[in-house]
Amino acid sequence: MDERQLRVLREVGELGSVTAAAEALLVTPSAISQQLRLLQRSMPVPLTERDGRRVVLTAAGRALASAAADVESALARARQTVEAFVEQPDGVVSIAAFHSAAAAFFPRLLRAEAAPKLSLHDEDVPQDEFPPLTREYDVVLGHRLDHAAPWPRTVAVTSLLHEPLDVAVPADHPLAAKRSLTPRDVAHEPWITVHDGFPLMATIEAIGAAANHRLDLVHRVNEFTVVAELVAAGAGVALIPRWTAQRHPAVALRPLRNVHTRRHIDALYRPERAARQAVRTVLTELRHAATAVRA
């Protein structure tokens, strides 16, 4: 049984005919009859009977109709509770982000006057593991490279940044004197890069392919703050995001030519989460924060 069938039973019992119930519910008499048949199939005893030209409820039907009123009242209260939750402007919104996005976006969200209460989390995972995180968090900040597969249709996406990835070199390195670099310029340098499986590795491989040289991957570090310190110490060169990574005074960033070195930073969420006003407010503040990050 379901809510529609119970409501049909109540209306038939009160009005005494299928036709009258159909008029009250703005449906056809055949639709009323079908709902009654479906409900009757799930019951071990008759629910209706004929009394002349009228359709009346049996004792079992009256008992079920009475219970149906309680069911409708409970469902109405549940809907009101959900509607209040959805429209609540200051409900807690959980957000997860990979490290550089967290550093760039979380402080701006916390300072935003319109932002609701936040529960912030770091999740540094491979690209295909960002969408499943939307089961656990209201909003997930994920990143993917230009040539990577798009996000699956199971998640909604709000685009935030299309960020360049620059080559980071020590400020006193000869390469720092150039305004831009090519794959051949950096192919013979020691490299600091992320672990296998993370989005940035595809760009590292593309640099080696463009230079026709296997890059020497000396250090594997995912946190860009640590990467910048290693570059400053002369441990090698690296790719570092232009806008979201913290600048280091001893590190120079130079754009790389002839290889696509941009990543998308997007807010991922399940479509139903955006029904909440608090989540919609967070998405608006994330877009404002993205404008500030680019600037």
For residue range 152-164, list pLDDT tens digits in order: 999 999 999 999 9
> Would you state the pLDDT for residue 237?
97
> Would you state the pLDDT for residue 164?
95
Which of 33, 68, 87 is the last residue in one of the domains?
Answer: 87
> Would you state the pLDDT for residue 244?
95
Same domain, 49 and 151: no
Same domain, 21 and 101: no
Same domain, 82 and 108: no
Instruction: Report the range of poorest mean pLDDT among 49-58, 66-75, 96-105, 180-189.
Output: 66-75
> Would you state the pLDDT for residue 65?
83
Residue 292 clears pLDDT 90, i.e. is over it: yes
- Assign 76 a pLDDT band (cuts: 50, 70, 90): low
Residue with the bigger pLDDT between 141 and 10: it is: 141
Number of domains in the chain: 2
Same domain, 107 and 181: yes
Residue 2 clears pLDDT 90, i.e. is over it: no
Q: Print the domain residue range for 151.
A: 93-294
Report residue 237 as tokens. 């060169």
> Would you state the pLDDT for residue 83?
62
Q: 80-129: per-residue pLDDT in tens?
A: 666 666 666 678 999 999 999 999 999 999 999 888 899 999 998 999 99
Q: 255-276: per-residue pLDDT in tens?
A: 999 998 899 999 999 998 988 8
| Average pLDDT, integer, range 275-279 | 89
Same domain, 69 and 100: no
CATH number of 42's domain: 1.10.10.10
> Would you state the pLDDT for residue 86?
60
Residue 79 clears pLDDT 90, i.e. is over it: no
Which of 67, 87, 107 is the last residue in one of the domains?
Answer: 87
Same domain, 141 and 74: no
Same domain, 80 and 170: no
